[in-house]
Structure 1
């Protein structure tokens, strides 16, 4: 055909040939441009099915307008020749690039991400490509990726295509369901992209064999060889992302392509709906195993990429498409009255949504940062890393509660659902249930019968009991002792109205354990009360996640029944997967057991759910300090203080972090400010005493000890006093107080002795008495 003219295209040269047809370079004589023409192969020209498939390619691709999808200009049939005219890509196929071996990891990631962005556009149009492989991917000379050949693409509603029992597609890149000839959806493209990425990074296919049937057997029955064994140096996180993309069960893969993109480090800006994508995608800088860069360089890098979990500020959660933020309901009561009710309604809706495992909802602490804000919804969604926003209003009017709620796509302003409710005060739980169920429907979340039952549960029919509970919970969120004390009275009044209402019992349990942990009251007495209240709550409602959390916290911090602690925390998360604090407490359990890898993983999950919480992030900082990763821990802790500059606990822990890194002047300044803000902080004084000792200010350290000894025995941590003595070189006194820490079941002692990283005891660890205390506490590994 060279030199001939078809329609207004003059054939210039042959570019390639495949099973579906031949591709030529041609000159468009009308628009004066060079294009690629793909002609249907003669052996399929007479097949109605083949011709229909060919036309589908053009129709599918023509419907897509994206920089990573090859543009289709037209489809035509002239003089028996059926062809597609498409943009000519100046570059080479990905097949040509990988044939010589693995690509540079940065290049491989950029190509994979651009493929993913193109597929994301196709999937949003309901189109599944079904044949992603290196032969269908072109890379321009400027590094731009173009997806070709939607010849196998079909709308997601009609995605089965087999002929005589043979699956259509390129065998080595087929998903298991495609190889079996089953219905496929966008998850088959996710699998194929996983195969392509594996091949780019290792130079080999994950599923191999001699002949198609052997390859299909490998796809269906075998697991890929480990990438490390093939010489790949990519990080374990990236290997995990590829493994998830290659899960044989589609339900265990990433469910949307954007989930995989986020796992590979795509900036949230790139995923904004309708925003132009930069020519070169910014990707995470630690995909490969490299030595640590200087802290200043890392700090700059982390401000412009996503994916490093040790960012200067908490990263937006990688929650994918089924993620939501319920913004604070606007209180329409004049002059902002009954704030506790509007905030409580917001938190209860979040709690109900969080019970749906297939959804991820941002915790109240983070969304409350946007109360009365003028920030745009798209900006809020980017900050929190979510794809859906719930907004609304609430107003109490006599015995009724008037509520509006809207589910919105923040990037397109599309209203997904809206409704208004005029409910009697006693029927307010119906609002929580309806919003949660509508969210599940709008985001196509899987909802189990058990989840539906728990969401629809009505915990009390007494509106006064509910409102008193909301008031108590409102004061518990203040987290400062003087405010927290106000909560107890409201919880008790709620129980007086309805003694069978479980949440206020859990509130009392949380109240007591919070004060016990920070030694505000006698820990022994407070822990006992917390346990009793939690057990009462569970006797009324065994499915109350908050009560399981407190029960597990009791065992981790005081009862030292480690198996019970783990069991309770896991149950709390099972009942409420979206509870950030359930994950925080499980992290603390693992820290007390010395399992720092598990502790770090759990606190990361909590951080994804509550990214703007200073307290949640400060737990991450403390874990990093315990792991001797002091510079990273300090960076995280300093960002926590920016979130909540008046939080005494954060300042105290930041001072501890400075001390662990030898920054004694900074530690002392922070700890002294913590004591000033708290007016009286005996536990902080145990840390300040150590800082004085390390800084060589012995007289001040001794005065701190005298002040501590003057308090009642319940007002400080025996472990903390032991640490001050140890810092001063007073070994025998240190062991006296360590023994007292064991006998008093000092929770701080158990946690820190398990981690075994406190610099105060560096000179004591070789002493047999130190190991003896660890063994008695049950934290010696």
Structure 2
């Protein structure tokens, strides 16, 4: 049949063959899409009952609309063939996955939950699948489950789908009542799902034998073999759950698929089924000891979902029912070209949505961890603590952008909204506005007139200026000083195209702030240019949150106008409540004022918005050190290293936390590793000098000081040198360098000579009048 056209489908290749038919990949020449066509086998066609069953498959499946069920487009007859046209699933069957051995527990449970959700939708419509087995389950490249083949499904009005006691289905997955040829209901699907879950976890079937009759005997008479094997990840509770699904008598099993889903950790509110909820479900759910927080996709309540077997990870933060993650848009340009555009569009949509105070939006840094991921949407939502996912695709070429977006409930797979846009680049901001407004509507978020106005703002009418800005921001987001330096040229070119376009001015401001913090260029030059660029951006757009953040950062790190610093940071948050970095900067400012509890609260909010950011979590660790909560800080910073073992900044602050806690050997190990990974990190070098001094290794500390002096004062932090001298008990040298740090406006002074500061280098020296004098000159003292 390859190459032939039947109806309006051109046959491309054979995909597989089963008992009831052959499946081909085909091109739909009318709608220009690729589909799967299932043709009835000739021996089935000769039977009127077989043909009727085939048609029932299409009718049953076509009545179902759920993400975890393969979509059926049509059933048709043409050229002597009867066939079903269905969506082509890009992935592999669950049979292929388990062929290589057991799946990881979390992956197996995720797949089981998705199968259960699809069956839940079918059972609500009175449809029983009757042939749930790994061969009928597809797992897409994005780890989404699709249930295939409702050829054995039946509607509620059909009392029986067997004839003369002949069982229909895949033998190893049949329930006892199905194997006996008896009437079945949705509990037979629960049994089959229990068998599939057993197999995913162990790599073996629970009921085995040589030949169909031996397997049926095992199903009817034998108990499944124990799953408690050496090295197994199956807990006694999980084995008990599967045993209940595999109870021989249907009345002893879970009576409804939602019962099993609740036991697997899915909230009853997420299921939202129409029948009354049995009290025993509520009681069992309340007793579960391991709890995850989920966000509901409808604006009805905060949703507590029970997660029995997914509890080895830290609990995801609860951001409430109106919590959103915008996943990286999939770049459809060949060979990954224009990645700067797909990433930039993702970040711009996040920025627009985050302007809505009534929503909580996960920051770009965290969602980018899921770029090209194979994780399922429900697992991502649990990781990030959100109840809604936005995903889509983008293709940018020839002055146009083709963008598709979907707003999805990751736990029920309900599609809340979908949009497709084919816009000229000059109209690209309309797409971002539409997605933000649709998301607000889907979640029933309150949207103020000011927020609507800011979301609808068109910052430039020049598409070339926008593209150049995106390229600059793509490089700046890498936070690598070398890449940050390259970003400047793109921001400047963007301004050449449109001098009134505010965001590239803010990009330049952030560029110089970053270079100043990392001592890449002279501090006075870097911070002065940052201030000028931020003020230019604000003159063009007073509502640009990013510019207010940089303007406040300038005052925190260099200008030391503390009232202006706090005012700018709070204005940045007011304009963009979802900005994690605005809260990081406000937290830093509050630390300089000695308001440690407030600083901790802000950084904790930043972490909720950007939970997977190593930098945000590192700042949380620092805030905990400032509160003398060193053990908690060490735990947080170790967690950061699990995210990124090569994060130099994290190792720097972990070493500092160890040093603050008196664990000098551990501090030296972390700081030496930081030096090995980035020898140019001179502040980490000064921290190492302090650790050597505290550990009694004065010769090593002196050696580091000599190295720093040889570099010249424009390459290192004078505050760090002052702290090394202080750690060695060299008071006079310490205050000489501290005064130099003040006069040079070393930004580390503001963060470490704050009111009630806890840097251990200055223990015993804070009562010295010279220390108090520096505080007063900076406006930090009494």
- TM-score greater than 0.5 by the shorter chain: yes
- Distance, in Å, in 1 between the alignment partners of 2:312 and 2:641 is 12
Q: Within the alignment, does 1:282 sit opposite 2:283 as a pair?
A: no
> CA contact under 8 A between 1:593 and 1:751: conserved in structure 2?
no
TM-superposed deviation, 1:730: 0.8
> CA contact under 8 A between 1:603 and 1:619: conserved in structure 2?
yes
> CA contact under 8 A between 1:417 and 1:438: conserved in structure 2?
yes
> CA contact under 8 A between 1:381 and 1:388: conserved in structure 2?
yes
Q: Within the alignment, does 1:455 sit opposite 2:446 as a pair?
A: no
> CA contact under 8 A between 1:312 and 1:639: conserved in structure 2?
no
Q: Which residue does the alignment assign to 1:484?
A: 484
- Distance, in Å, in 2 between the alignment partners of 1:671 and 1:729 is 21
> CA contact under 8 A between 1:683 and 1:720: conserved in structure 2?
yes
Q: Within the alignment, does 1:756 sit opposite 2:763 as a pair?
A: no
- Distance, in Å, in 2 between the alignment partners of 1:312 and 1:556 is 39
- Distance, in Å, in 1 between the alignment partners of 2:422 and 2:694 is 63
**Deviation per CA, 1:344-371, whole angstroms, max 9, x where unpaired?**
0000000000001111110000001111
> CA contact under 8 A between 1:404 and 1:418: conserved in structure 2?
yes
Q: Which residue does the alignment assign to 1:655?
A: 655
Equivalent pairs counted in the alignment come to 495
TM-superposed deviation, 1:280: 0.5
- Distance, in Å, in 2 between the alignment partners of 1:726 and 1:282 is 50
**Deviation per CA, 1:156-177, whole angstroms, max 9, x where unpaired?**
xxxxxxxxxxxxxxxxxxxxxx
TM-superposed deviation, 1:320: 1.0
Q: After superposition, where does 1:392-407 map in structure 2 within 5 Å?
A: 392-407=392-407
TM-superposed deviation, 1:316: 2.5
- Distance, in Å, in 2 between the alignment partners of 1:741 and 1:534 is 25
* Deviating 4+ runs (over 4 angstroms): 267-272, 303-306, 311-315
Q: After superposition, where does 1:224-303 map in structure 2 within 5 Å?
A: 273-274=270-271, 278-282=285-289
What is the SS of the residue equivalent to 2:270? coil
What is the SS of the residue equivalent to 1:273? helix
TM-superposed deviation, 1:401: 0.4
Q: Which residue does the alignment assign to 2:717?
A: 717
Mark the CA change 1:284 to 1:278 in structure 2 (over 3 Å): closer, same or farther: closer
Q: Within the alignment, does 1:555 sit opposite 2:555 as a pair?
A: yes
Q: Which residue does the alignment assign to 2:772?
A: 771
Mark the CA change 1:461 to 1:646 in structure 2 (over 3 Å): closer, same or farther: same
TM-superposed deviation, 1:272: 7.6
- Distance, in Å, in 2 between the alignment partners of 1:319 and 1:743 is 44
**Deviation per CA, 1:205-232, whole angstroms, max 9, x where unpaired?**
xxxxxxxxxxxxxxxxxxxxxxxxxxxx
Q: After superposition, where does 1:37-56 map in structure 2 within 5 Å?
A: none
Q: After superposition, where does 1:149-188 map in structure 2 within 5 Å?
A: none
> CA contact under 8 A between 2:265 and 2:308: conserved in structure 1?
no
**Deviation per CA, 1:700-736, whole angstroms, max 9, x where unpaired?**
1001111111122122222111110011111100010
Q: After superposition, where does 1:363-512 map in structure 2 within 5 Å?
A: 363-512=363-512
| TM, length-normalised to structure 1 | 0.61
What is the SS of the residue equivalent to 1:735? helix
Mark the CA change 1:675 to 1:371 in structure 2 (over 3 Å): closer, same or farther: same
Q: After superposition, where does 1:679-758 map in structure 2 within 5 Å?
A: 679-754=679-754, 755-758=756-759
Q: After superposition, where does 1:46-85 map in structure 2 within 5 Å?
A: none
Q: Which residue does the alignment assign to 1:185?
A: none
- Distance, in Å, in 2 between the alignment partners of 1:478 and 1:655 is 24
What is the SS of the residue equivalent to 1:504? helix
**Deviation per CA, 1:327-355, whole angstroms, max 9, x where unpaired?**
00000011111111000000000000000
Mark the CA change 1:573 to 1:304 in structure 2 (over 3 Å): closer, same or farther: farther
What is the SS of the residue equivalent to 1:318? coil
> CA contact under 8 A between 2:687 and 2:724: conserved in structure 1?
yes
Q: Which residue does the alignment assign to 1:188?
A: none
Q: Which residue does the alignment assign to 2:572?
A: 572
TM-superposed deviation, 1:279: 4.6
What is the SS of the residue equivalent to 2:669? helix
TM-superposed deviation, 1:666: 1.9
> CA contact under 8 A between 1:534 and 1:550: conserved in structure 2?
yes
- Distance, in Å, in 1 between the alignment partners of 2:407 and 2:291 is 31
Q: Which moved more, 1:643-652 or 1:629-638?
A: 643-652
TM-superposed deviation, 1:314: 6.7
TM-superposed deviation, 1:269: 6.0
What is the SS of the residue equivalent to 1:631? helix
> CA contact under 8 A between 1:519 and 1:683: conserved in structure 2?
no
Q: After superposition, where does 1:81-92 map in structure 2 within 5 Å?
A: none
Q: Within the alignment, does 1:355 sit opposite 2:362 as a pair?
A: no
| RMSD of aligned alpha carbons | 2.3
- Distance, in Å, in 1 between the alignment partners of 2:265 and 2:543 is 36
Q: Which residue does the alignment assign to 1:640?
A: 640
Q: Which moved more, 1:666-675 or 1:345-354?
A: 666-675
- Distance, in Å, in 2 between the alignment partners of 1:361 and 1:630 is 30
Can you give the 5+ residue segments of structure 1 that lack an aligned partner in the other structure? 1-266, 286-302
Q: Which residue does the alignment assign to 1:249?
A: none
What is the SS of the residue equivalent to 2:771? helix
> CA contact under 8 A between 1:312 and 1:636: conserved in structure 2?
no
- Distance, in Å, in 2 between the alignment partners of 1:505 and 1:648 is 29
**Deviation per CA, 1:485-524, whole angstroms, max 9, x where unpaired?**
1111111111111111100100010011111122222111
TM-superposed deviation, 1:780: 2.1
Q: Which residue does the alignment assign to 1:205?
A: none
What is the SS of the residue equivalent to 2:758? coil
What is the SS of the residue equivalent to 2:490? helix
- Distance, in Å, in 2 between the alignment partners of 1:323 and 1:674 is 36
- Distance, in Å, in 1 between the alignment partners of 2:751 and 2:466 is 36
Q: Which residue does the alignment assign to 1:612?
A: 612
- Distance, in Å, in 1 between the alignment partners of 2:315 and 2:565 is 29
- Distance, in Å, in 1 between the alignment partners of 2:636 and 2:704 is 28
What is the SS of the residue equivalent to 1:439? helix
What is the SS of the residue equivalent to 2:404? strand
What is the SS of the residue equivalent to 2:421? strand
**Deviation per CA, 1:414-440, whole angstroms, max 9, x where unpaired?**
111001000001111111000000000
> CA contact under 8 A between 2:290 and 2:308: conserved in structure 1?
no
Q: Which residue does the alignment assign to 2:44?
A: none
What is the SS of the residue equivalent to 2:287? coil
What is the SS of the residue equivalent to 1:680? coil
**Deviation per CA, 1:438-476, whole angstroms, max 9, x where unpaired?**
000100011111111110111111111111111111111
| TM, length-normalised to structure 2 | 0.61
> CA contact under 8 A between 1:313 and 1:639: conserved in structure 2?
no
- Distance, in Å, in 2 between the alignment partners of 1:745 and 1:486 is 26
TM-superposed deviation, 1:305: 12
What is the SS of the residue equivalent to 1:715? coil
